[in-house]
C-alpha cells in the first residue's frame, strides 16, 4: 500500500484525534486550561508513538518532547498546542465537520498539525533521529520555549514546522521578523476643569509618538510599524498622567529590524515636562528564503515521487517558531501543517480531504531527509 493510501486509511482516526484536541480548549493565557491540554496531548502522543514524552518545565510552563533513536537528532518536528481562543469559545465556535470542512477554535492553528505529526511518526517504520517538540507559548511569542527550540534545532539537518499551510496548501518559505514594543508616556495629572494648565497631558504626548511610530514603516521594503492597543488616563475629568500604546513591527530582513529598533528607542518627548518609557524589542528574526530553499526543493521532489500535487510557496507576514530555527542557521520549512484557513478568525477551518496527502508529504519528507 502506498504512503498516501496508508494515510488515507488513518483519516477516521485522525479526525477523532483532532476533535479531542480542539474540544480541549488551550488559550495561552489560561494556566489551568493549558495544564489540561498538556495531559491530553501527552496521552495522545503516548498512545500513537508508544512512549511518553519528556516534560520540560520552564517558568511554570510544560513543553513536551519525544526523541527517537540513540544518536543525535537530525530532523526536528515543531509545533504548539496553545491557541489565541479564550476559554468558552467552543460555545460560540463549536467543533464540527460539514461538507468536508472541519471547524473549531484552534483547529488549523495548529491542533490538526499536531495530529498530523503524531500519525506521521506512528506510520514511519524507523523514526530514529527525529525529535518532536510541542510547546505551549507560541502565541505569546515563545518567551519560555525559545531557548529550548533553538537548542533542539541546533545541529539538525532540518526543522519542519507544522503550522498551517498558506493559501492553496502552499509551503511557507519566508516569514517576516517581528518586534513588539510598548511606548509609555508619562505626564502629570490635574483636574481637567479647575486647573488643566497644571497638568501635562500624557495622551497628547502619546498622540505625537503614535504618528512618529507610524512614519517608521517602509512599504517598499515590506516594513510595517503598526500602533495597536492604546490605553491612557484614569478618569474622564482628569488630565492623563500616563498613556501607553502597543506597537507591532514586521520586517523582511535583519537590517530593517535593527533600523526600526534604533528609531523606536530614539523617540523623544514633544511636550515640556513629559517623559517616555520604551519597553520591548525584537522578538523573532526574519525567516529568510536562504534558510528554506533547499528543503522546499526536497519537498517538491517528494511530492512528485508520491504522486501528490506539488505544493506552491508563499511569503507571509506572520511569525512562527520557524523564525527561531531559521535564525540560528538550521534549514527550515514552514507551513507543513493542515490546509485550510482563517487562523485566529471566526472562519478558522481545515479541509478534511487534504489531510491524508499532507500527512503523506510530511512522512515522505522525513524519510527522505533521514536517508540523506
Upper half-sphere CA count for residue 324 (Cβ side, 13 Å): 22
- The one catalytic residue in 17, 25, 137, 138 is 138
The span from the CA of 251 to the CA of 245, in Å, is 20
Judge whether 248 counts as a catalytic residue.
no
Residue in 36, 43, 38, 35 with CA at minimum distance from that of residue 17: 43
CB 24 within 8 A of CB 104: no
Buried b (16+ CB within 10 A) or exposed e, 19-37: bbbbebbbbbebeebbeeb
Among positive and negative, which fits the CA dihedral 94, 96, 100, 105? positive
CB 63 within 8 A of CB 173: no
Residue in 6, 303, 12, 3 with CA at minimum distance from that of residue 169: 303
Q: Within 10 Å of residue 244's Cβ, how many Cβ atoms?
A: 17
CB 268 within 8 A of CB 212: no
CB 110 within 8 A of CB 4: no
- The one catalytic residue in 25, 82, 261, 367 is 82
In the numeric block, which cell numbers belong to residue 77? 518536528
The span from the CA of 341 to the CA of 348, in Å, is 6
Q: How far from the centroid of its chain's Cα atoms is residue 84's Cα? A: 10
Judge whether 334 counts as a catalytic residue.
no
In the numeric block, which cell numbers belong to residue 143? 518567551
Residue in 70, 56, 69, 82 with CA at minimum distance from that of residue 147: 56
Instruction: State the distance between the two ends of the chain, measured CA to CA, in whole angstroms.
Output: 24
Rg (CA), the chain: 23
DSSP-assigned beta bridge partners for residue 132: 66, 77
Q: Which residues are catalytic?
A: 82, 138
Amino acid at each position: 500500500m502506498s504512503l498516501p493510501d496508508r494515510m488515507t486509511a488513518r483519516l477516521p482516526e485522525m479526525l477523532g484525534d483532532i476533535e479531542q484536541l480542539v474540544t480541549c480548549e488551550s488559550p495561552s493565557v489560561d494556566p489551568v486550561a493549558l495544564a489540561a491540554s498538556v495531559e491530553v496531548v501527552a496521552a495522545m502522543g503516548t498512545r500513537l508513538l508508544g512512549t511518553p514524552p519528556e516534560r520540560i518545565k520552564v517558568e511554570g510552563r510544560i513543553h513536551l518532547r519525544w526523541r527517537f533513536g540513540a544518536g543525535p537528532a537530525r530532523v526536528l518536528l515543531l509545533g504548539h498546542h496553545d491557541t489565541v481562543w479564550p476559554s468558552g469559545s467552543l460555545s460560540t465556535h463549536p467543533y464540527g465537520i460539514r461538507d468536508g470542512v472541519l471547524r473549531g477554535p484552534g483547529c488549523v492553528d495548529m491542533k490538526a498539525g499536531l495530529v498530523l505529526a503524531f500519525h506521521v511518526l506512528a506510520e514511519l517504520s524507523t523514526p530514529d533521529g527525529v525529535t518532536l517538540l510541542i510547546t505551549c507559548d507560541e502565541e505569546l511569542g515563545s518567551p519560555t520555549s525559545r531557548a529550548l527550540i533553538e537548542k533542539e534545532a541546533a545541529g539538525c539537518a532540518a526543522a519542519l514546522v507544522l503550522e498551517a499551510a498558506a493559501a492553496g496548501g502552499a509551503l511557507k518559505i519566508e516569514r517576516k521578523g517581528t518586534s513588539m514594543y510598548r511606548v509609555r508616556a508619562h505626564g502629570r495629572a490635574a483636574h481637567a476643569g479647575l486647573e488643566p494648565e497644571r497638568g501635562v497631558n500624557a495622551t497628547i504626548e502619546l498622540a505625537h509618538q503614535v504618528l512618529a511610530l507610524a512614519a517608521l514603516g517602509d512599504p517598499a521594503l515590506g516594513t510595517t510599524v503598526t500602533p495597536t492597543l492604546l490605553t491612557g488616563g484614569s478618569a474622564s475629568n482628569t488630565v492623563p498622567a500616563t498613556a501607553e500604546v502597543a506597537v507591532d513591527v514586521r520586517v523582511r530582513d535583519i537590517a530593517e529590524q535593527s533600523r526600526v529598533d534604533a528609531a523606536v528607542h530614539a523617540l523623544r518627548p514633544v511636550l515640556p515636562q513629559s517623559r517616555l518609557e520604551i519597553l520591548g524589542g525584537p522578538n523573532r528574526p526574519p525567516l529568510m528564503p536562504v534558510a528554506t530553499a533547499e528543503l522546499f526543493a526536497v519537498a517538491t521532489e517528494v511530492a512528485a515521487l508520491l504522486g501528490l500535487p506539488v505544493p506552491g510557496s508563499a511569503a507571509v507576514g506572520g511569525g512562527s517558531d520557524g523564525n527561531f530555527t531559521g535564525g540560528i542557521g538550521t534549514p527550515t520549512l514552514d507551513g507543513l501543517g493542515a490546509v485550510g484557513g482563517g487562523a485566529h478568525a471566526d472562519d478558522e477551518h481545515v479541509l478534511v480531504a487534504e489531510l491524508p496527502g499532507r500527512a503523506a508529504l510530511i512522512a515522505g519528507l522525513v524519510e527522505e531527509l533521514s536517508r540523506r
